[in-house]
Structure 1
Amino acid sequence: MEAYETEEQQVEAIKSWWKENGKAVVVGGVVGIGAILGWKYYQSTKIEAKETTSISYEKTLTALQNSGAEAAESTQAFITAHAKSEYAVLAALQLAKVQVDAGQLDAALEQLNWVASNSKDESLIATAQVRSARIQAEQTQFNAALATLANVKPTSWAARVAELKGDIALSQGDVATARTAYTEALQAGMNQAVQMKLDDLAE
């Protein structure tokens, strides 16, 4: 900083600096405060939107629990309105479940395919794919079911995938392939239910 001989010189220097830079300081301050307030507003709006979506999701679940597949229309409206959120994915999974219970397999399959295409969560995608494969197997679309299972990526699902492959092979009368698949399921950590299936195939 420059040295000034008198207080008057210091005052004049400050006045001169303020004249040259004061406007920029004020504008910068206003912009900075505006940015902070804008960010806080944006954050509060996001939180409020999430809370509103959460409440709407809870109401959707309640409707499904109380009315089953009859609540499909309102549930679909929620899914469409919140298509980019995981709430929509969860709602679609629940809707698919009640549709399966109601025997509406094609409709359930449509929901599960939507989940697999729109979710960002690998576990939820795998859940949808395995459930889709079960429906396809029930509809005797065995090749489609196996193709769906081939897309399941998480290794944590290996046991369930192998078990379902065994079920499909058994439905097709292929006992040898079913036995191999059940063995793989056990090795991947599946439970006693699979062991029972394997025991039933003992030669």
Structure 2
Amino acid sequence: MDVFEADAQQREEELHRWWQENWKSIVMGIVLAIAIITVVFMYRDYTKKVKYQNAVDFYAIVMNSDLSDANSVNDVKKFIGDHSSDVYSQLASLSLAKQYVAEKKYQEAADLLKASIGASRDNILDDVIRLRVARLNIELKKFDEANAVLDAITNREAFKFEVASLKGDAAYANKDNAAALKFYEEALSSAKADDDTNVVKMKRDSLKTVKGVTAVKAAEKQEGASQQPAADVKAEEAVKAEDIAAKTVAAEESAAK
């Protein structure tokens, strides 16, 4: 028993010595862990409140405003500037750009949307905005810029149908019907089940019709050109035959006399 008691007493003394040497580090670690947990929860609550307030401001300033009013437009522009690093600036830019398009201010809309790309670091939303910028550039007859914006789209597979159809629109507006037909065919071949292909099909079919009519007219023109020399030869031969007949009749009359 004395051996066991001595061993227990020795362990107790070692534990006491260890505690004396390390209690400060242990307490500081516990306090630090509690502080970190507290800060994390406080930050989560803060970000929730910020997001909630941003949403409230967005609906109050952007969604419930008359964007045809100059003062409201200035408020929206200020909101976009104050939220330049979150998704609400992009949503506000889309709303204001829609109003600009209604007023046929295509350049202002394009500039506004281009400036908003990358604000929220949301690749999908960025690509949606690029598609709208491309449409505006086509309307402005800036076809090279439209194609450059379309080439910058990151989610190529997700937006393959939209990219090809818009490139077709750019080619058609630039009077390059062959390229437009190619892009429309590419768009239809890559369309997904939920894509609305009706408009693209009508554009493709109209180009095919125009191409067919042009080909027929060209063939008719070529055929007419090839038949014209033959008609001229026949007319010349007829004139010669009439001349020979007249000379023959004159010779017969002369011999009869």
Report TM bin, short chain: 0.7 to 0.9
Query: Separation in 2 of the partners of 1:8 and 1:185?
Result: 85
**Alpha-carbon contact 1:69-1:99 (below 8 Å) kept:** no
- CA gap of 1:61–1:14, structure 2 versus 1, over 3 A, is same
**Closer, same or farther in 2 for the Cα pair 1:27/1:111, shift >3 Å?**
same
Between structure 1 and structure 2, the one with the greater Rg is 2
Q: Do the aligned residues in 2 keep the contact of 1:60 with 1:91 (CA within 8 Å)? A: no
**1:187 to partner: Cα distance:** 1.0
Query: Any residues of structure 2 matched to 1:1-203 within 5 Å, and which?
Result: 4-5=5-6, 16-64=17-65, 66-68=66-68, 70=70, 71-154=72-155, 155-189=157-191, 191-201=197-207, 202=209, 203=212
Between the two proteins, what is the percent identity of the paired residues? 28
Question: Aligned residue pairs: how many?
Answer: 200
Give the letter aligned to residue 67 of structure 2. Answer: S
Report the alpha carbon displacement of residue 36 of structure 1 after superposing the two structures with TM.
2.0
Q: For structure 2, which runs of at least 5 residues remain unmatched after alignment?
A: 213-257
Between the aligned partners of 2:160 and 2:28, the Cα distance in structure 1 is 60
Taking structure 1 as reference, are residues 174 and 69 closer, same or farther at Cα in structure 2, changes over 3 Å only?
farther
Distance 1:138 1:59 in 2: 32
**Offset of 1:60 from its aligned partner?**
2.8
Q: Counterparts of 1:7 and 1:173 in 2: how far apart (Å)?
A: 97
Given that residues 78 and 88 in structure 1 are in contact (C-alpha distance below 8 angstroms), is that contact kept between their aligned partners in structure 2?
yes
Cα distance change of structure 1 residues 62 and 180 upon mapping to structure 2, 3 Å threshold? same
Could you tell me whether the CA contact under 8 Å between 1:132 and 1:145 is conserved in 2?
Answer: yes
- Shift in Å at residue 108 of structure 1? 0.8
Deviates more, 1:178-187 or 1:139-148: 139-148
Which has the higher relative contact order, 1 or 2, with Cα contacts under 8 A spaced 6 or more apart? 1
Cα pair 1:4 1:10 within 8 Å, conserved: no
CA contact (8 A) 1:134 1:164 kept: yes
Compute the RMSD of aligned alpha carbons. Answer: 2.5
Equivalent AA in structure 2 for residue 198 of structure 1:
R
TM-score for the superposition, normalised by structure 2? 0.68
Unaligned stretches of 5+ in structure 1?
none
